[in-house]
């Protein structure tokens, strides 16, 4: 049997969004004859280990990003020293992993330090333009992006874009490729409706838990068949009559979404890519202080695709009927992308 070349695949642990959208690329690497080495931390690493028990995994330093209700810029500035230290450790560990596995390339989903000049590398991001009033934020991010060989953007170029200004207004210096929506889920056209609404939580604490508590209190006052997917492996301390699951993955979560009249979730980019594929309706509740989610929720509501409401103002009795009036991504637009062609980077077919 021919030896498989290893590709290091680093994934940011920021809820489950980066982990779920990495799944189709990890599978595509396997299909192309490579052996991915999954590197992450926390719930993202545990999720990918469950999906790919046959692949080697490594733990990376945690960025430990937390969101408060304060201003995004000040919040992130206060956390920069900790993130910077994690990136520094990550870069050193990446060099060790390259030697350990004799890897031929690296893929990083938003892990800033997961590259090395000795091998070709690709950086996956939809955040070419982070919507803040401080140019320094994007300047710093692009400085990291430009350390990679290429930048892969999970979006469609032009009018079918999901990310809008996030992906189309600033360009890095390195070659850029739009690779389409990344989702491991598939639409089930004949699925029977089982739930009136399913809540799917994700993202960093403490906001995940705060929204969980608020939505459960409101759901218990409503009539209907509901389900909560908590998006965490932490031990639940819930006293509720609403059925819940800690985590659901792959086909299981696709079945739940396909069988629900409405999904209630954050307006995270990875969730929106799933909705683009499944064409479901959703009530979007952006994470407070997360300017990207606030932008996406506002943008999609302006396009009359999804109904959105702030966490502070959410009232499910009123918001669920309103959200059902919005069609979602009712047409699966965008041009299919041959993702196996991306991996020519690791075969010497493109300059790194």
Q: What is the DSSP string of 109-132?
A: ES-TT---TTS-EEEE-S-SS---
Q: What is the pLDDT of residue 214?
A: 96
Residues in CB range of 225: below 8 A, 6 or more apart: 194, 195, 196
With beta carbons less than 8 A apart as the criterion, state whether 266 and 283 touch. Answer: no
Tokens coding 193? 């409706």
State the Cα–Cα distance between residues 179 and 244, nearest whole angstrom. Answer: 34
CB atoms within 10 A of CB 297: 24
Which string of DSSP letters, residue by residue, matches 302-340? HTTS-EE--TTT--HHHHHHHHTTS--S-S--S----GG
Structure confidence at residue 203 (pLDDT): 78
Whether 219 contacts 243, CB under 8 Å: no
- Which pLDDT belongs to residue 315? 98
DSSP label at 166?
H
Global pTM reads 0.85
Break the chain into its structural domains and give their ranges: 6-180+335-347, 197-323
CATH topology of domain 197-323: Rossmann fold (3.40.50)
Q: Structurally, what CATH architecture does the domain formed by 6-180+335-347 represent?
A: 3-Layer(aba) Sandwich (3.40)
Quick one: pLDDT at residue 350?
A: 66
Q: What's the angle, vertex CA 220, arms to CA 251 and CA 283, rounded to 5?
A: 50
From residue 153, give the alpha-carbon distance in Å to each of 28, 158, 161, 333, 339: 16, 13, 11, 16, 12
Q: What is the pLDDT of residue 188?
A: 76
Q: Are strands 121-124 and 244-245 parallel, antiparallel or unpaired?
A: unpaired
Long-range CB contacts (within 8 A, 24+) of 318-321: 319/283, 320/196, 320/197, 320/222, 320/262, 320/264, 320/283
Contacts of 291 (CB under 8 A, 6+ apart): 72, 130, 131, 132
pLDDT at 341: 87
> What is the per-residue pLDDT for 171?
93
The predicted structure's pLDDT at residue 196: 97
Tokens of 274: 């799933």
**According to the model, what pLDDT value does residue 349 have?**
76
The answer to whether 57 and 45 are in contact (CB under 8 A) is: yes
**What tens-digit pLDDT sequence spans the chain (352 residues)?**
467 899 999 999 987 889 999 999 999 999 999 999 999 999 899 989 999 999 999 999 988 766 555 555 566 666 666 777 888 899 999 999 999 999 999 999 999 999 999 999 999 999 999 887 678 888 989 999 999 999 999 998 888 889 999 999 899 999 999 999 999 888 777 789 999 999 999 877 889 999 999 999 999 999 999 999 998 877 777 788 899 898 887 788 899 999 999 999 999 999 999 999 999 999 999 999 888 999 999 999 999 999 999 999 999 999 999 999 999 997 655 556 777 889 999 988 766 5
Query: For residue 185, what are the contacts with CB-CB under 8 A and spacing of at least 6?
Result: 250, 253, 254, 257, 274, 277, 278
Helices (H) and strands (E) in the chain, counts: 10, 13
Helix axes 17-31, 42-51, angle to 10 degrees: 40
Same fold for the pair 6-180+335-347 and 197-323? yes
pLDDT value of residue 264: 98
Residue 67 is predicted with a pLDDT of 55
pLDDT of residue 132: 75
CA 6 to chain centre: 24
Reference 203, options 99, 311, 276; nearest CA is 311
């Amino acid at each position: 049997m021919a030896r498989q070349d290893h590709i290091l695949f680093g994934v940011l642990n920021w809820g489950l969004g980066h982990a779920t959208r990495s799944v189709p690329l990890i599978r595509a690497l396997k299909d192309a004859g490579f052996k991915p080495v999954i590197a992450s931390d926390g719930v993202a690493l545990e999720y990918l280990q469950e999906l790919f028990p046959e692949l080697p995994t490594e733990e990376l330093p945690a960025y430990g990003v937390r969101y408060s209700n304060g201003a995004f810029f000040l919040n992130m500035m206060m956390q920069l020293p900790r993130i910077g230290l994690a990136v520094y450790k990550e870069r050193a560990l990446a060099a060790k992993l390259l030697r350990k596995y004799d890897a031929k390339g690296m893929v990083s989903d938003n892990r800033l330090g997961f590259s090395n000049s000795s091998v070709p590398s690709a950086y996956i991001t939809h955040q070419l333009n982070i919507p803040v009033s401080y140019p320094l934020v994007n300047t710093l991010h692009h400085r990291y992006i430009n350390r990679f060989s290429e930048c892969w953007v999970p979006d469609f170029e032009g009018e079918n874009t999901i990310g809008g200004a996030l992906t189309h207004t600033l360009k890095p210096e390195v070659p850029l490729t739009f690779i389409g929506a990344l989702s491991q889920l598939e639409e089930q056209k004949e699925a029977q409706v089982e739930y009136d609404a399913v809540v799917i939580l994700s993202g960093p604490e403490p906001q995940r838990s705060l929204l969980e508590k608020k939505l459960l209190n409101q759901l218990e006052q409503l009539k209907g068949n509901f389900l909560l997917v908590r998006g965490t492996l932490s031990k639940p301390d819930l006293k509720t009559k609403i059925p819940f699951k800690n985590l659901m993955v792959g086909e299981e979560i696709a079945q739940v979404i396909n069988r629900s009249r409405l999904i209630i979730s954050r307006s995270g980019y990875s969730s929106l890519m799933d909705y683009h594929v499944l064409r479901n309706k959703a009530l979007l509740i952006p994470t407070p202080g997360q300017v990207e989610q606030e932008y996406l929720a506002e943008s999609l509501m302006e396009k009359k695709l999804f109904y959105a409401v702030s966490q502070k103002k959410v009232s499910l009795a009123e918001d669920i009927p309103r959200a059902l009036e919005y069609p979602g991504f009712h047409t699966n637009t965008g041009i299919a992308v041959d993702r196996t062609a991306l991996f020519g980077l690791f075969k010497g077919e493109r300059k790194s």
